Amino acid sequence: MGHEVLAVVLQVRDHVLSVLLWQRARPPYEGGWALPGGALGVAEGLGPSIRRQLKQKVDVRELTHLEQLETRGAPDRHPLTRVLATAYLGLIPAGVDPLTPEDTRWHPADRLPDMAFDHAELVDSGRRRLRSKLSYTNIGFALAPPVFTLSELTDYYRAALGYEVSATNLQRVLLRRGQIQPTGASAPPGRYGGRPAALYRFRVRELEVTDAFAVLRPPGRIAPQVG
């Protein structure tokens, strides 16, 4: 029985939450798309193994967050042999563009191509984990560059959550929770001029729970007051 490690690597690219996939060149699922990863080394821990494989196989080195997502061990998840899979959720901040091989591409996480094995289910699990943690932690730091405007941050949240987000409400909630703070600087004016937008940053760029009972919901749904 084998054991592999896989990564659901997500990034907001061109206003869309995207996942990094590579195209298989041999059976099973030849031509299908799969999550990056590979066999666990006999002397490796799970975390070090997936970091090594992301660096070596798809040149992903600038993860701002990596956490274990789930382990799958259904006897039939691999058509040829018994393989356990431990999946990780990895996040890359907007604006970073890893150098990836020709067989590797970014795909919209909600419009996946034909996927190999149970990898489509793992992508869905990663998206749900990210959405959940955006409610009660500061994990937004892993989607954003070190400094950003509120408009940019709202775009990252909108892409990750999959619904419209009010910049005013997001600012109010994140400031009240102490997640973000103004830098005192402003972004350069746009091509049409106008008032320069204030720049913000996350107070802490590592995961912390800021409101254990908060829930972010799409507009129009009844939800408890957050913030």
Q: What is the pLDDT of residues 121-175, one digit of tens each?
A: 999 999 999 999 999 999 999 999 999 999 999 999 999 999 999 999 999 999 9
Q: Cβ distance 5 to 86 under 8 Å? A: yes
**106, 140, 126, 117: which is closest to 19 by C-alpha?**
106
Distance from C-alpha of 146 to C-alpha of 186, rounded to nearest angstrom: 14
- For range 34-56, the mean pLDDT: 93
Calculate what percentage of the chain has a pLDDT beyond 70: 94
The answer to whether residue 174 is domain-embedded is no
The answer to whether residue 46 is domain-embedded is yes
Give the model confidence (pLDDT) of 2-11 as tens digits.
999 999 999 9
pTM over 0.75: yes
pLDDT at 110: 96
CATH number, domain containing residue 54: 3.90.79.10
Q: pLDDT-based confidence at 217, cuts 50/70/90?
A: confident
Q: Bigger pLDDT: 221 or 35?
A: 35
Q: pLDDT-based confidence at 191, cuts 50/70/90?
A: low
Split into its structural domains, the chain has a count of 1
The answer to whether residue 133 is domain-embedded is no
Pairing type for strands 65-72 and 104-108 reads unpaired
The answer to whether residue 117 is domain-embedded is yes
The answer to whether residue 120 is domain-embedded is yes
Mean pLDDT of the chain: 92
The answer to whether residue 43 is domain-embedded is yes
The answer to whether residue 60 is domain-embedded is yes
pLDDT at 193: 62
Q: pLDDT-based confidence at 87, cuts 50/70/90?
A: very high
Lowest mean pLDDT among 7-11, 57-61, 76-80, 89-93: 57-61
Number of Cβ within a 10 Å radius of residue 81: 8
- For range 56-72, the mean pLDDT: 90
CA atoms within 13 A on the CB side of 168: 0
pLDDT(225) > 60: no
Distance from C-alpha of 58 to C-alpha of 98, rounded to nearest angstrom: 8
pLDDT at 222: 44
Pairing type for strands 83-91 and 2-13 reads parallel
The answer to whether residue 204 is domain-embedded is no
Q: pLDDT-based confidence at 192, cuts 50/70/90?
A: low
**122, 167, 91, 105: which is closest to 4 by C-alpha?**
122
Q: Which domain holds residue 119?
A: 2-124
- For range 71-82, the mean pLDDT: 89
pLDDT at 159: 98
